[in-house]
Amino acid sequence: MVSYGVFLPVGNNGWILSTTSPQYEPTFELQRSIVERAERHGFDFALAMLKYRGYGGQTQHWNHTIDPMTLMAALAPLTSTIKLYATVSPLSYNPIVVAKMAQLIDEISGGRFGINLVAGWNRSEYAQMGAWRGDDYYGYRYDYLSEFTQILLTAWERGRVTFHGEYFDIDDCEVAPVPTGHIDLISAGTSPRGRRFVAEYADYHFGAGGDAEEVAASNAALAAASAELGRTPGAFAQTLVVLGDTDADARRKAELYQQGVDLGAVAGMVREYSNDTSTDGSSAMVAESHRADVSPFYGGRALVGSPQTVADHLNAIAAVPGTAGVMLTFDDFLEGTDRFGTEVMPLLAHLPARAAATVPAPKG
């Protein structure tokens, strides 16, 4: 079975850099409404990214963002079934603080909380607050994140941590109470070192989107990195959905968004990703995709089509060995979440039992 989740638009205008796409601020009311809709339709999880500096341009893309840990703490008592993931970077949080914050959010949610761990690649985000460790950090960021994660896991397991590493020095630190159950970890590393981090510590990999062949290659690389450790983390693919009544209607929307592409914001995004000196990870792939094709869609592509076309594509991804979930973004998140729940979910072949039971049966 494959889970479906929503990647919350905690930055203004979500994942489309365009003046002609839906424009919105990342208010709490918007996030609450999206998550309540997602839960009602049987989505399995919601994830919020971490972002401290945007890409500018005419739309000031992602110049306005809200904090994911605070957001999930606020959403936890307002929801009952959907899993809530917040993103954490070791450059902006102490691992002991994260351990305690996570324990309480997990308690509030009744065991529905998880963390998406990112190493922190964007120099300008952290330099502006004095948290950047210098450009050599690009080379050791996953070693840094590994120590952070070891401390986090020890804190949750034992409630007390002593750790003397290369980057962290924790001495007999009290971290009680501990969570009553397991708190899932996700990470999106796509370089060989990033995949090894996932293989060592994560429950899920925030992997490739695209077509089934690309997802299969990403899943196979993760499986190879994990095999020698005896672990089998699942993979979450990401897909930006532009849904229309027909394929032609969906293409009309996508073409409209392309006409309004915010060139300033795209240039700002490429510039920020190009700061990353690594050449084999997600930063390089995102930068290259937008250099090659000035697309308004984050990562350069979107899944554009009717409910049947979208469902066919997702069913192909879901059938790829290792796929544990698909994380969705939309052009219009309120309409998109509702339409996906009522028009696409009945056409999906790999839904968990809970989600399959909560969406309407297909007509006819």
Q: What is the pLDDT of residues 229-242, one digit of tens each?
A: 999 999 999 999 99
Residue 50 predicted with pLDDT over 70: yes
What would the mean pLDDT of 319-346 be, rounded to a whole number? Answer: 97
Q: Report the distance separating Cα 248 and Cα 254, nearest Å.
A: 10
Q: pLDDT confidence of 61, banded at 50, 70, 90?
A: very high
Residues 6+ apart with CB under 8 A from 293: 300
Helices (H), 187-262: 192-201, 212-227, 247-259
Q: pLDDT confidence of 168, banded at 50, 70, 90?
A: very high
Residue 364 predicted with pLDDT over 50: no
CA angle 226–229–231, rounded 5-degree value:
60
Q: Which of 17-31, 187-201, 279-293 has the highest mean pLDDT?
A: 17-31
Classify each residue of 28-41 as buried b or exposed e, where b means 16 or more C-beta atoms within 10 Å of its C-beta. Answer: eebbeebbebbbeb
What is the pLDDT, as a whole number, of residue 342? 98
Q: pLDDT confidence of 363, banded at 50, 70, 90?
A: very low
What would the mean pLDDT of 149-153 be, rounded to a whole number? Answer: 98
Beta bridge partners of 297: 16
What would the mean pLDDT of 167-195 be, rounded to a whole number? Answer: 96
Q: Report the distance separating Cα 158 and Cα 174, nearest Å.
A: 9
Q: pLDDT confidence of 210, banded at 50, 70, 90?
A: confident
Q: What is the mean pLDDT of the chain?
A: 92
What is the pLDDT, as a whole number, of residue 357? 43
What is the pLDDT, as a whole number, of residue 359? 42
Omega before 177 cis (within 30°)? yes
Comparing 341 with 190, which gets the higher pLDDT? 341
Q: What is the DSSP letter of 58?
A: T
| 112: phi then psi, degrees, rounded to nearest 5 | -110, 20
Burial-class residue 208 by CB neighbours within 10 Å (0-12, 13-18, 19+).
Answer: buried
Residue 224 predicted with pLDDT over 90: yes
What is the pLDDT, as a whole number, of residue 167? 98
What is the pLDDT, as a whole number, of residue 207? 87
Q: pLDDT confidence of 276, banded at 50, 70, 90?
A: confident
What is the pLDDT, as a whole number, of residue 87? 98
What is the H or E stretch that residue 313 is in?
A: helix 307-318
Residues 6+ apart with CB under 8 A from 136: none
What is the pLDDT, as a whole number, of residue 289? 52
Q: Report the distance separating Cα 337 and Cα 324, nearest Å.
A: 20
Comparing 207 with 146, which gets the higher pLDDT? 146
What is the pLDDT, as a whole number, of residue 56? 97
Residue 63 predicted with pLDDT over 60: yes
What is the pLDDT, as a whole number, of residue 121? 86
Q: pLDDT confidence of 292, banded at 50, 70, 90?
A: low
Residue 220 predicted with pLDDT over 60: yes
What is the pLDDT, as a whole number, of residue 275? 80
What would the mean pLDDT of 88-95 be, rounded to a whole number? Answer: 97
What is the pLDDT, as a whole number, of residue 351? 77
What is the pLDDT, as a whole number, of residue 171? 97
Using one digit for the tens of pLDDT, what is the confidence trace for 103-131? Answer: 999 999 999 999 999 999 899 999 999 99
Residue 248 predicted with pLDDT over 50: yes
- Strands 169-174 and 160-164 turn out to be antiparallel
**Which H, E and C letters describe 62-75, residue by residue?**
CCCECCHHHHHHHH
